Amino acid sequence: MVIIVSAPSGSGKSTLVNALMEQVPGIRFSVSYTTRTPRGAERDGESYHYISREEFERRIDAGEFLEYAEVFGNYYGTHRSYVEAAAYSGYDLLLDIDVQGAAQVMDKLPDAVTVFILAPSREVLEKRLRKRSEDSEETIQRRLREASQEVRFAERYSYVLINDDVAESVQNLVSIVRAERVKRERLREKLSPILDTYLSQTAAG
């Protein structure tokens, strides 16, 4: 199962995703590739895979990315190998990507579970961005403009979480993933042989 989580910056996405990874086993995080430079304590291979623009474009030409987008002069992308490894090993894969990348993945993987995380209002989002004390006023205003565009895509997602209370939002996200796991189509391969034992006994009787 591929799980896509998107949200405007400041919506609390990282907090919810980290809690989900801690509480639900069997999920791997897809580390995106980017051409931007590391920030703060970010480490290559953990936050992102940092590569040059030339290398990223070479990989685009080679068809290596499941999705990619250029945002404010930097490329971001999900390498196909993460999805292939998840399918081979049988674990669920979580993609933390923006709406541009999510739209590309939805087209290629229509059965992906998609979750959009939203602050309860623009005013709350602005307060959260300012509380972080990480961004300049120009950056805050740019993020708010981005949010106004990104929320337009919320209806394309399977689920929309209004992140008003963090603890409640975490449990809702955990519940979504667990519920999706037990859907019959997700268990078809395991369910079929079990059903066969019942049907064969019925036929014999």
Instruction: Express each pLDDT in 24-79 by its tens digit.
Output: 999 999 999 999 988 878 888 888 999 999 999 999 999 999 999 998 789 999 99
Label residue 70 left, alpha or beta by phi (over 0 means left) and psi (-120 to 50 means alpha): beta
Mean pLDDT of 109-130: 93
Task: For residue 116, give the nearest of 8, 38, 32 by alpha carbon.
Answer: 8
Mean pLDDT of 132-155: 89
Give the chain's end-to-end CA distance (angstroms, integer): 38
Structural domain total, the chain: 1
* Residue-by-residue DSSP string for the chain: -EEEEE--TTSSHHHHHHHHHHHSSSEEE-PPEESSPP-TT--BTTTBEE--HHHHHHHHHTT-EEEEEEETTEEEEEEHHHHHHHHHHT-EEEEE--HHHHHHHHHH-TT-EEEEEE-S-HHHHHHHHHHHT-S-HHHHHHHHHHHHHHGGGGGGSSEEEE-SSHHHHHHHHHHHHHHHHTSGGGGHHHHHHHHHHHHHHHHH-
At 204, the pLDDT band (50, 70, 90 cuts) reads low
**What residues does 33 pair with on adjacent strands?**
49, 77
Q: Are 158 and 4 in contact (CB under 8 A)?
A: no
pLDDT greater than 90 at residue 22? yes
At 132, the pLDDT band (50, 70, 90 cuts) reads confident
Task: For residue 93, give the nearest of 159, 32, 181, 28 by alpha carbon.
Answer: 28
The pLDDT of residue 193: 77
* Tokens (6 digits) for 198: 């019942």
Distances in Å between the Cα of 110 and the Cα atoms of 2, 146, 199, 203 are: 10, 25, 32, 37
Distance between CA 128 and CA 7 in Å, rounded?
A: 13
Supply the CATH number for residue 73's domain: 3.40.50.300
Average pLDDT, the chain: 90
Task: Identify the domain containing residue 139 by its residue range.
Answer: 2-204
Within its chain, how far is the Cα of 51 from the centroid?
Answer: 21
